[in-house]
Amino acid sequence: MSTSLKVAVLGCGSVGSQVVRLLREQSDDLAARVGAPVELVGVAVRRIDAPREVDLPAELLTSDAMGLAVREDVDVVVEVIGGIEPARSLILAALEGGASVVTANKALLAEDGATLFEAAEKANRDLYYEAAVAGAIPILRPLRESLAGDKVTRVLGIVNGTTNFILDRMDTSGAGFSEALEEAQELGYAEADPTADVEGFDAAAKAAILASLAFHSRVTAADVYREGISEVTAADVASAQDMGSVVKLLAICELKDDAVAARVHPAMIPRSHPLASVREAFNAVFVESEAAGQLMFYGPGAGGAPTASAVLGDLVTVSRNRLASTRGVGESSYADRAVLPMGETLTRYHVAIDVADRAGVLAAVATAFAEHGVSIQTVRQEGRDDDAQLVVVSHRATDAALSATVETLRGMDIVREVTSVMRVEGDSE
């Protein structure tokens, strides 16, 4: 066997500790798969004396991440620190110094992936990041390689386990958002500060990465329309149930007139849709392409060991490439598609309205939709007299026209309250 491949791991937290454990426990298999021994030569952390989830010889630990990233003998740098800095400077320095890089850093890739890809290109080195989206689920490589000969038209993903857990609890127990969030925190599915998850920032970063790969264009987190789940009420969830649907936080990336639309928001999907069966903290990505049709990728979207599985898969690939003195597929942004503003994106709305019990109410509501060019798919009336509610589901229209319709409804004197507004996804109309 040839000389060993030297690996440096930056970060030894939830993911890093599991990467280190697997690297050591599976060293014989990894050596056989790569074609050379894979040797862990250093692990960078912030607090050198903090307890670790993995046994590590003290001489491997360092707090000098930059020194480790640019060490001349290091072949592959694994970045699992997270955040923008110092992760970006470390990755750029590692590439410039001649190492290949594996990272799980969705925040950085979604904010400034272009700088990293250009650096990898210039250095003629690999930059792999399967773990950045949906943890253990292989989805980036299928998009980048397996589907490279097809035309992807749409990617729908449940890519945040925390929000899926919360919405699943609201669906099964009738709990409100705060109660379900509290349970998620008690069970360790939500952070003490859950903002990044519940407000959709994490999912938006993943949507940017998915859209970039699916549509061969550069899409950043700032391009992704984002709405979280903190405003989803028990009434919204019950309303979805009445329609035979379930509420999910979706990352949606699609083509419209050759432009890219990328958005993250809660949506009602029919229970018959494959994504509706994704329960608890699991993730799934549903891909539609011209030739393949519909594909679904499902599994654990987070957690130290599942995420480390994806990191190790990349590590094997980039290590093999190094031994063969070659490089894998780099960034593909040749299509350079524009990103559509949310207002021009086509969506459907579910609107529940408390209305006065008067003749002509239905006609007045229908007129409000028609004035904005929105056609109605179904209207259902629930209750009677003072308790009357209309539930309207629209056909596809621009998001701007739909939100203007809701504004008009809110201003009508026959409308007591618009009690629920939610987008509808996942069926053929």
Enumerate binding residues for ligand NAP (CB under 6 A): 10-16, 44-47, 50, 65, 80-82, 86, 104-106, 131, 135, 302-303, 307
- Give the shortest CB-325-to-ligand NAP separation in angstroms: 29
- Angle between the 304-323 and 27-34 helix axes, to the nearest 10 degrees? 40
Structural contact between residues 112 and 101, judged by C-beta atoms closer than 8 angstroms? no
- Indicate the residue among 306 and 426 with the shorter CB distance to ligand NAP: 306
At residue 276, φ and ψ (nearest 5 deg) are -65, -25
- Give the shortest CB-69-to-ligand NAP separation in angstroms: 10
CA–CA distance, 89 with 112 (Å, rounded to integer):
12
- Give the shortest CB-124-to-ligand NAP separation in angstroms: 25
Neighbours of 26 (CB within 10 A): 14
- Give the shortest CB-12-to-ligand NAP separation in angstroms: 4
CA–CA distance, 247 with 374 (Å, rounded to integer):
23
Neighbours of 408 (CB within 10 A): 16
- Indicate the residue among 252 and 302 with the shorter CB distance to ligand NAP: 302
Structural contact between residues 327 and 124, judged by C-beta atoms closer than 8 angstroms? yes
Cα 373 to Cα 344, 353, 401, distances in angstroms = 14, 19, 7
* Nearest of 184, 193, 198 to residue 230 by alpha carbon: 198
CA–CA distance, 30 with 321 (Å, rounded to integer):
14
Rg (CA), the chain: 24
Q: Which residues are catalytically annotated? A: 206
- Give the shortest CB-222-to-ligand NAP separation in angstroms: 18
- Indicate the residue among 224 and 340 with the shorter CB distance to ligand NAP: 224
- Indicate the residue among 45 and 392 with the shorter CB distance to ligand NAP: 45
- Give the shortest CB-9-to-ligand NAP separation in angstroms: 9
- Indicate the residue among 131 and 147 with the shorter CB distance to ligand NAP: 131
The closest residue (CB) to ligand NAP is 13
- Sorted by sequence, the CB contacts under 8 Å of residue 341 that are 6+ apart come out as none
DSSP string, 334-391: TT-PPBPPGGGSEEEEEEEEEE-S-TTHHHHHHHHHHHTTPPEEEEEEES-GGG-EEE
**Structure tokens given for 291:** 């030739």
Question: Where does residue 238 rank: exposed (0-12), middle (13-18), buried (19+ CB within 10 A)?
Answer: middle
* Nearest of 385, 346, 303, 348 to residue 153 by alpha carbon: 346
- Give the shortest CB-16-to-ligand NAP separation in angstroms: 5
- Indicate the residue among 210 and 404 with the shorter CB distance to ligand NAP: 210
Pairing mode, if any, of strands 282-289 and 293-300?
Answer: antiparallel
> Quick check: helix, strand or coil at residue 157?
strand
- Indicate the residue among 86 and 138 with the shorter CB distance to ligand NAP: 86
- Give the shortest CB-228-to-ligand NAP separation in angstroms: 18
Structural contact between residues 20 and 40, judged by C-beta atoms closer than 8 angstroms? yes
- Indicate the residue among 50 and 148 with the shorter CB distance to ligand NAP: 50
